[in-house]
Amino acid sequence: MKSQDIRKQFLDFFQSKGHLIVPSAPIVLKDDPTLMFNNSGMAQFKEYFLGNGTPKSKRIADTQKCLRVSGKHNDLEDVGFDTYHHTMFEMLGNWSFGDYFKKEAINWAWELLTEVYKIPKENLYVSVFEGNPDENVPFDQEAWDLWKGLIDEDRIILGNKKDNFWEMGDQGPCGPCSEIHVDLRSDAEKALVSGKSLVNNDHPQVVEIWNNVFMEFNRKADGSLEKLPAQHVDTGMGFERLCMALQGKTSNYDTDVFTPLIEKVEQITGLKYTSNEIQNISEEQNKTNIAIRVVVDHVRAVAFAIADGQLPSNTGAGYVIRRILRRAIRYGFTFLGTKEPFINKLVEVLANQMGEFFPEIKSQQQLVANVIREEEASFLRTLDQGLQLLDKVILESKEKIINGEKAFELYDTFGFPIDLTALILREKGYELDEEGFNSAMQAQKTRSRAASEVSTEDWSVLIPGNVETFVGYDQTENDVKITRIRKVDSKKDGVLYQIVLDHTPFYPEGGGQVGDKGILSPALSKGEGAIEIIDTKKENNLILHFAKQLPENVNASFIAKVNTGLRASTSKNHSATHLMHQALRKILGTHVEQKGSLVNPNYLRFDFSHFAKMTEAELQQVEDFVNARIQEQLPLIERRNIPIQQALNEGAMALFGEKYGDNVRAIKFGESMELCGGIHVKNTAEIWNFKIISEGAVAAGIRRIEAITSDAVKAHFELQENTLNEVKEALKNPQDVLKAVHSLQEDNAKLTKQIEALMKEKVKNLKTALMVEIHEINGVQFLAKQVDLSPEGAKDLAYELGTFGTNLFLVLATAEEGKPTLSCYISKELVASKNLNAGTIVRELGKFIQGGGGGQPFFATAGGKNAAGIKDALEKAMDFVK
């Protein structure tokens, strides 16, 4: 059975059991501060388990793109070494939100596996939670009894809290689970060792395929459990492992999910991957296999993340993606011999293979490949630099063991992987001080952990059962009540309170737009006792208002008042963003797609796909287009709650990687129409003026524009004018400023030429004068002297003197404008015969002038801070000759 059909049969089966089939949520999470990536099928439904929202249906099924590379569930370092862990994988799942429970879940799981997929019953084992007296959770008798009706009792295994109690994170919904494991070993192996003893024992052919979680509890901040108001089912089946079981393979990588990618790698590298069936492979082949598994696994994770809008970067989710890609690049570099970008070439295969079910990978194929290629090229350059640096470290090391802290520096500053460092050192007969490396790493981890520590208290609920509504599209001031409060203490922000209201005019950060600020004041106090709301964010369908303190009486009635000045500026920037998006598609072409956006009161930032730097003329056209729409005074046409298909049919633009509901809000200004939840001006005339202030690249094929509107444009031009006035004044107010600047530049060029000529003359004279000062020590023609020249002049002089004879050893010092430099010249034959190195020598002498430097063995320079040290440096130079 093809993997495509296996996926379809799962969804068809649950549809026939009354489940609504929904698409996979994007792999990158946007509005959830507790999670970077979707790490399980249930993540997109969290709010329903918490009771903060109502699902479209009480029964839902889907396949979810998941990434387990950070936080509580992290498999990254295992991937490649075994045959059944992945960074990105698909999780097939079915859910009940307060509807069916254990009976249906267990019976359907069994029916699907044994009757539809026809997995032989004698290959299956199931596990049941054994209970935990410390937590007061009993043995799961109900699950045990249900399984007993389906499977031989001998195949039911009791599992502990680690294996059979599923928790999404440190806090939140959780419950006992029942796992289904499959034994894929040969009959001979089964006869030798029972499958039961191998369950949950990291055996590559006795693996868990399906987890059925029975959500009954909520884990509170103090670690205790409370019963959830309703009982839910959350199941997750590993798609790739299911394919392995149904395609009669013993490795996920031997299924058609991976073989096309593997074939492509083989074709590019000329190497062969051996399937899991082949035994007794060489150590060399094993390394090749691991590296190929790493590459074909990682390319999926990275490609889908980019298609969902997450570009590799230096922070947050982007950094995780960058690290995954770099792991693949270095496995290729070290074990597959790939010194040129190649992973990008796998994207086409992936798009052909998965594009039908996940259209985002097909439609973004080109962009994804470009971004990956650029990342590869740049990291390969880093590897190259790292190799050179490592050579230097080896050269300078007096011992055969290389300092761990140095290796950590390479790793930390240049991203140079430690296993590669160790490998190269071994090849060159050196050893790595691993302990030193580990302790430097540990110290850094402790530092960053301390910096990101957050403790979150449980909600204290003042008004239960309320579902908060957002009224901020129409209002900016409301009478409200507080429904719940939570205290959060973090190293970064200190103590903050999160306040939830019964309804709120405060816009929570989203769609690029920052959250509203404002105040919350007791209704009857005439402004006294008001607290400031410093930010507003959304989490699990709740709107959180952030404050540094709580009001005195939290049960009182309040007036929630948005800072309308800030909001007005923000909304101008947001509406201008839409107009600019429209302009870019008109002027550059419809390949332009939004890739990121930030809208705050000060400016707007917009990232979009486009292959080339924008020309001045294009930028001008975009500015003119937006300003023309502003002058047309286009009214806002806002359509709330229209069916998504209708909005799309009318031409509304939707973004990849964004999760939309069935009903959406569409924002229209003239011909610009976008699906958007943000705050906008009522008429484009309010924007007043639009000005682009920068354009640049963020990644391959992605450009970034920053722009301003309204008063900020005025301030911008005022600043320009002031600067111009200052320039005029400095030039003594000439009639024509430009002409005055040009003539200044011409004068400057003339003078520079004259100085250069004079310098040459001076060098020549000094050469004659110094030639007589060179004296012989131990057969070496030696001179160490301070000269009144520029550093470049000293270099010229050294080379000039160099032509004078053989066996020369010269050190020239300069101190132009008090800045000391040293130049060291050693004749080539001395370098060879006496094993001297100018680079090492200047570094040594550089210490006297508090500086450092380097260069080639026959010529090197050092710069420093302490001119008073020149004398000692020159004296020390003689020691080298002596």
Which amino acid is present at 295? V
Cα distances from 109 to residues 17, 145, 154, in angstroms, run 12, 15, 19
CA distance 730 to 725: 9
Q: Which stretch binds ligand SER (CB under 6 A): 234-242, 265-273, 498-506, 669-677?
A: 234-242
545 is in an annotated binding site: no
Residues 6+ apart with CB under 8 A from 194: none
Complex with ligand SER: residue 172 or 857, whichever CB lies closer: 172
Any contact of residue 569 with ligand SER (CB under 6 A)? no
Complex with ligand SER: residue 166 or 342, whichever CB lies closer: 166
Which 3 state secondary structure label does DSSP give 764? helix
Q: Which stretch binds ligand SER (CB under 6 A): 118-126, 228-236, 620-628, 872-880?
A: 228-236
In sequence order, the β-bridge partners of residue 673 are: 668
Q: Which of 6, 11, 29, 42 binds ligand SER (CB under 6 A)?
A: 42
Q: Which of 26, 51, 80, 93 binds ligand SER (CB under 6 A)?
A: 93
Q: Which of 124, 213, 296, 634 binds ligand SER (CB under 6 A)?
A: 213
Question: How many Cα atoms within 13 Å fall on the side-chain side of residue 579?
Answer: 38
Complex with ligand SER: residue 211 or 476, whichever CB lies closer: 211
Q: Which of residues 161-190 bind ligand SER (CB under 6 A)?
A: 166
Q: Are strands 702-709 and 690-699 parallel, antiparallel or unpaired?
A: antiparallel
824 is in an annotated binding site: no
Answer for the pair 96, 49: CB distance below 8 angstroms, yes or no.
no
Any contact of residue 211 with ligand SER (CB under 6 A)? yes
Complex with ligand SER: residue 171 or 366, whichever CB lies closer: 171
Residues 6+ apart with CB under 8 A from 818: 867
Complex with ligand SER: residue 213 or 482, whichever CB lies closer: 213
Q: Which of 3, 24, 38, 40 binds ligand SER (CB under 6 A)?
A: 40
b/e code 112-137 from CB counts within 10 Å (16+ = b): bbbeebebeeebbbbbbbbbbeeeeb
Please report how close the Cβ of residue 375 comes to ligand SER at its closest, in angstroms: 29
Please report how close the Cβ of residue 177 comes to ligand SER at its closest, in angstroms: 7
Complex with ligand SER: residue 109 or 307, whichever CB lies closer: 109
Q: Which of residues 546-565 bind ligand SER (CB under 6 A)?
A: none
- Burial of 335 per CB tally in 10 Å (0-12, 13-18, 19+): buried
Answer for the pair 396, 430: CB distance below 8 angstroms, yes or no.
no
Complex with ligand SER: residue 195 or 236, whichever CB lies closer: 236
Determine the residue with CB nearest ligand SER. 236
Give 258-264 contacts, CB < 8 A, sequence gap 24+. Answer: 258/296, 258/297, 260/349, 260/352, 260/353, 261/296, 261/299, 261/300, 261/346, 261/349, 261/350, 261/353, 262/292, 262/296, 264/345, 264/346, 264/349
Please report how close the Cβ of residue 99 comes to ligand SER at its closest, in angstroms: 16
Please report how close the Cβ of residue 217 comes to ligand SER at its closest, in angstroms: 14
In sequence order, the β-bridge partners of residue 174 are: 167, 217
Please report how close the Cβ of residue 42 comes to ligand SER at its closest, in angstroms: 5
Please report how close the Cβ of residue 336 comes to ligand SER at its closest, in angstroms: 32
Q: At what angle do helices 346-354 and 259-269 cross, to 10 degrees?
A: 160
Token pair listed for 276: 């899991």
Any contact of residue 159 with ligand SER (CB under 6 A)? no
Complex with ligand SER: residue 26 or 793, whichever CB lies closer: 26
Please report how close the Cβ of residue 165 comes to ligand SER at its closest, in angstroms: 11
Q: Which stretch binds ligand SER (CB under 6 A): 233-241, 285-293, 337-345, 658-666?
A: 233-241
Please report how close the Cβ of residue 470 comes to ligand SER at its closest, in angstroms: 29
CA 489 from chain centre, in angstroms, equals 25
Helical ranges in 731-771 per DSSP H? 737-771
Q: Which stretch binds ligand SER (CB under 6 A): 35-43, 139-147, 383-391, 796-804?
A: 35-43
Q: Which stretch binds ligand SER (CB under 6 A): 231-239, 309-317, 359-367, 603-611?
A: 231-239
Please report how close the Cβ of residue 184 comes to ligand SER at its closest, in angstroms: 20
Which candidate, 198, 204, 188, 190, places its Cα nearest to that of 253?
Answer: 204
Residues 6+ apart with CB under 8 A from 523: 479, 556, 557, 558, 559
User: Radius of gyration over alpha carbons of the chain, in Å?
Assistant: 34
DSSP sequence for 186-249:
-HHHHHHS-GGGGTTTT-TTEEEEEEEEEEEEEE-TTS-EEEEEEEEEEEEEEHHHHHHHHTT-
Which amino acid is present at 266? E
Complex with ligand SER: residue 41 or 417, whichever CB lies closer: 41
Answer for the pair 51, 468: CB distance below 8 angstroms, yes or no.
no
Q: Which stretch binds ligand SER (CB under 6 A): 37-45, 115-123, 183-191, 801-809?
A: 37-45
Any contact of residue 235 with ligand SER (CB under 6 A)? yes
Q: Which stretch binds ligand SER (CB under 6 A): 229-237, 303-311, 593-601, 801-809?
A: 229-237
Complex with ligand SER: residue 41 or 332, whichever CB lies closer: 41
Q: Which stretch binds ligand SER (CB under 6 A): 34-42, 380-388, 766-774, 831-839?
A: 34-42
Please report how close the Cβ of residue 8 comes to ligand SER at its closest, in angstroms: 20
Beta strands in 88-170 (DSSP E): 88-97, 124-129, 156-159, 165-167
Complex with ligand SER: residue 39 or 575, whichever CB lies closer: 39
First to last CA, the chain: 81
* Interface pattern 111-150 for ligand SER (x via CB under 6 A): ----------------------------------------
Which candidate, 362, 345, 371, places its Cα nearest to that of 656?
Answer: 362
Answer for the pair 483, 477: CB distance below 8 angstroms, yes or no.
no
Please give the backbone phi and psi of residue 705, each rounded to the nearest 5 degrees, phi first.
Answer: -115, 140
Please report how close the Cβ of residue 66 comes to ligand SER at its closest, in angstroms: 8
Please report how close the Cβ of residue 276 comes to ligand SER at its closest, in angstroms: 24
Q: Which of 131, 159, 236, 341 binds ligand SER (CB under 6 A)?
A: 236
Complex with ligand SER: residue 61 or 702, whichever CB lies closer: 61
Q: Which of 26, 41, 98, 318 binds ligand SER (CB under 6 A)?
A: 41
CB atoms within 10 A of CB 103: 13
Complex with ligand SER: residue 166 or 782, whichever CB lies closer: 166
CA distance 575 to 597: 12
Answer for the pair 594, 606: CB distance below 8 angstroms, yes or no.
yes
Answer for the pair 481, 506: CB distance below 8 angstroms, yes or no.
no
Please report how close the Cβ of residue 622 comes to ligand SER at its closest, in angstroms: 45
Please give the backbone phi and psi of residue 575, each rounded to the nearest 5 degrees, phi first.
Answer: -65, -40
Any contact of residue 536 with ligand SER (CB under 6 A)? no
Q: Which of 90, 140, 234, 695 binds ligand SER (CB under 6 A)?
A: 234
Complex with ligand SER: residue 232 or 665, whichever CB lies closer: 232
Which 3 state secondary structure label does DSSP give 464? coil
Please report how close the Cβ of residue 40 comes to ligand SER at its closest, in angstroms: 3
Size of the site for ligand SER (CB under 6 A): 10
Token pair listed for 221: 């901040």
Residue the block writes with tokens 């320039």: 727
Annotated binding site for Zn(2+): 574, 578, 676, 680
Annotated binding site: 574, 578, 676, 680
Residues that bind ligand SER (CB under 6 A): 40-42, 93, 166, 211, 213, 234-236
